[in-house]
A and B are shown apart, each in its own frame.
Chain A
């Protein structure tokens, strides 16, 4: 009898339906599994454990880091940062094999959330970066 492990299943199926069951905040036991400090990737030090870095099997870590850096660059326009965020998620999602509908859903979820809740984060990022003379 052949024993089929999860890795083998993914190699055969290429993720497929199971992608919908992949959520991961990138944290475990209060630390990040990639060896970085809490708040790297998606979410902040307070929300890192609740905001998925992987949603529906799509790794959003670099896109979240990009958005974080845009907010923290003195003079970077907030609407442009959020629009880039939406476009980048869409592009990365498609390059990782996500379907069109899935990618639009993921982009919309993150775009709406930063549009509604990102105001204070943007103001704080701008304050700190402009203060440090960027």
Chain B
């Protein structure tokens, strides 16, 4: 990673890497298009192998698993639960579908789209799944979503979830907090990253 507020030789070389990377990427479209197809991969974190592959690949890529102070046992627990968490997240994103709305109501999962009053033409996106609290039988976490309407800047929204281990595997078991954390405020770091938090 790099960002270069000062002019140094190393900085210039690092920038060249990106400029040449972009030039090569854009100059070889015919033979490089498969380079831009993501079929997923196995992500090894402290020896625990996460299957970052379809279905719901884009949801699995939103899992923030590094830098969360998770032990190998906790990571192993998350590896088991990942498919079910990804499925539930996908259901929440797809809640413009009446059948999905019914499923969310039946399971008492908060319908973010309904809560925010989004119309069916406004897609809801997942950004980050993080803040893990993991024990052998329960997992709590938050999910950051975002949406944009009428070409306005994106709004980021956070909700919280709990999963419990059952005979049928990891299942949603409730919301740890009675209300979602709600809309987050976003600021740009000196390095250029947008960081959103409560």
Question: A residues within 8 Å of B by Cβ?
Answer: 6-7, 9-11, 15, 18-19, 21-28, 31-40, 43-47, 50-52, 54, 57-59, 61-62, 65-66, 68-70, 72-73, 87-88, 91-92, 95-97, 109, 112-113, 116-121, 124, 128-129, 131-132, 134
Contacts and interface: CB of A to CB of B under 8 A. Distances in A.
Contacts of B36: 43-44, 46-47, 117-118, 120-121
A65 B125 contact: yes
A117 B12 CA distance: 28
B52 A37 contact: yes
Q: What class of interface size applies to chain B in its complex with A?
A: 35 or more
Contacts of A23: 2-4, 14-15, 18-19
21 contacts: A15-B192, A18-B4, A21-B5, A23-B19, A26-B1, A31-B66, A34-B128, A35-B67, A39-B52, A44-B38, A46-B35, A52-B18, A92-B153, A95-B153, A109-B26, A116-B29, A118-B36, A121-B36, A124-B37, A132-B55, A134-B90
Nearest to B21: A50
Contacts of A15: 192
Contact of A38 (B43, B192, B194): B43
B57 A72 contact: yes
Please list the 10 inter-chain residue pairs (A to B) with the smallest Cβ-Cβ separation, ordered nearest first.
A50-B21, A132-B55, A44-B38, A95-B153, A35-B66, A128-B54, A23-B18, A28-B1, A35-B64, A40-B61
